[in-house]
Chain A
């Protein structure tokens, strides 16, 4: 099985060195890209079917096609790497940055070239200290090799890449909030339109792209769109980094064909549930995705199929709930996170989520009422898409609405017995 993204990872968890990276074919995608017109690089990515790995799954090549190109385009244009990974339960981008930093850098350069960007920022979460150090070093190496900087490899193309260390806040991952953060402001999301592709960072055309997405780009240029599509089991191209956390035998992270069935990841790779525990449900792609349960385990993990099952692929890193853990407690933990991280810009979100959190906590403490259950249901509708300024709030109530659907008896038990049955 081909593993373009993790195939070079070292077992001692050190970063792949520049020499090893080049020996394994690294920076050849860049060499090749520079012989092709920028718009044609974008065309290859479009044909590959690559979709964003940051959670929303937007087709990458299509996103680039909205950027004004050519002589009359405004400059500087920006490429921004979304390396703010803060979605609870998600641990894939950190692995890519720590273990193979040159792979990300090559992807950044090729993507930047495709949109004729002049400057790239890597927006990195502050706690990722090891990623920072390894990226900083790799960037310095790439500069001495003229992969980055002025007149890259004699092509006439110039690109600066800078690292921006964030000071931590989940909303910074939302792409327009991220742009405000990069401008040194409070990270409130911006109104769209205008879309960042046209007017983004400092008012200039900007593309924001997830780490894992970018790590694919130069492989596509080097090996072609058909190769990329062939890696996948379904119509969404490529491989995917899948993770499993929770009480399974072997929690971990694996690169597998896009569309690998959930059950296979859970049982063959994560080793199934720990002895004495049974599976109750999972969040397929981080905290802001709907729970799925036993009946969904044969779902291929890709964008379309997970959606059909009633959730989202999200980040592809699953969080597993077992039968000895209280689902209400788990949802309380999730809503505590969202209530805390709401940026406070619009009232339904900040007030609705802190209310939600309080109710869940009261239920856990044996103080909930039947009426509280109706309030929770009301919140899931009140914070649904369209009612708040950004996608944060709808994401925040996804685990709640699905928990009410699948674990409703557990919620009712809490209020009827005035206690948490797990305590």
Chain B
């Protein structure tokens, strides 16, 4: 079941559009903000609120990169693998991070703290290589900066 808070956030968004289907993405992101991911059960709940079929919602969910249809760790680290970061050694950054957290890209650490995912250009190419952890952007990455960043998360 959706929580009152989730419902309220979704209804607020619905007020901004001429129909309920339009908030499909906002609604899934709202659920994800609270639960970390979008489960089959959440899709069914959203289907009722929005009047959009579960199949259509799943079609939308799977189209977009930032909607998680599987559980993720407590924090999500997005590592930029686009061209400017690649030129500046993002492969090394990725390998270091994966080794440091003993997790392949796409995986979640054994303690459930981090999920590591690739992401396209984060719009900070003049400070490549870059990554985001949750809502925070980290630039000019090297091993030292990665260590610094990781200490910010429990």
- Chain A residues with CB under 8 Å of chain B are 76, 85-91, 93-94, 125-130, 160, 162, 164-170, 181-187, 202, 243-247, 251-253, 283, 287, 317, 319-322, 325, 329-330, 333-334, 336-337, 340-341, 343
Q: Measured between alpha carbons, how far is A333 from B85 in the docked complex, in Å?
A: 10
Does A127 lie within 8 Å of B125, measured CB to CB?
A: no
> Taking A129-B135, A245-B87, A330-B83 as contacts, is the C-beta distance between A167 and B122 under 8 angstroms?
no
Partner of B64, one of A90, A93, A167: A167
Does B125 lie within 8 Å of A245, measured CB to CB?
A: yes
* A-contacting 9-mer, from B21-29, B95-103, B105-113: B21-29
Does B121 lie within 8 Å of A87, measured CB to CB?
A: yes
Which of A89, A127, A170, A325 counts the most chain B CB atoms within 10 A?
Answer: A127
The answer to whether B154 has its CB under 8 Å from any CB of chain A is: no
Interface secondary structure of A, over-half rule: mixed
Does A168 lie within 8 Å of B65, measured CB to CB?
A: yes
Does B65 lie within 8 Å of A252, measured CB to CB?
A: no
Q: Please, could you name 6 A-B residue pairs with CB atoms under 8 Å apart, sorted by A?
A: A86-B120, A169-B65, A170-B120, A247-B87, A319-B125, A341-B120
Q: Measured between alpha carbons, how far is A85 from B26 in the docked complex, in Å?
A: 19
Does A183 lie within 8 Å of B123, measured CB to CB?
A: no
Which of A125, A128, A164, A320 counts the most chain B CB atoms within 10 A?
Answer: A164
Partner of A126, one of B24, B66, B83, B88: B66
Q: Measured between alpha carbons, how far is A90 from B121 in the docked complex, in Å?
A: 8
Q: How many interface residues does chain B have, given as a range? A: 35 or more
Does B88 lie within 8 Å of A127, measured CB to CB?
A: no
Does A166 lie within 8 Å of B25, measured CB to CB?
A: yes
Query: A400 to nearest B CB, angstroms?
Result: 13
> Taking A93-B123, A319-B84 as contacts, is the C-beta distance between A167 and B67 under 8 angstroms?
yes
Does A89 lie within 8 Å of B84, measured CB to CB?
A: yes
Does A321 lie within 8 Å of B87, measured CB to CB?
A: yes
Q: Which residues in A have their C-beta under 8 angstroms from that of B66?
A: 126-127, 167-168
Query: B55 to nearest A CB, angstroms?
Result: 12
Q: Which residues in B have their C-beta under 8 angstroms from that of A90?
A: 121, 123, 125
Closest to A165 in B: B29
Q: Measured between alpha carbons, how far is A87 from B120 in the docked complex, in Å?
A: 9
Q: Which residues in A have their C-beta under 8 angstroms from that of B65?
A: 167-169
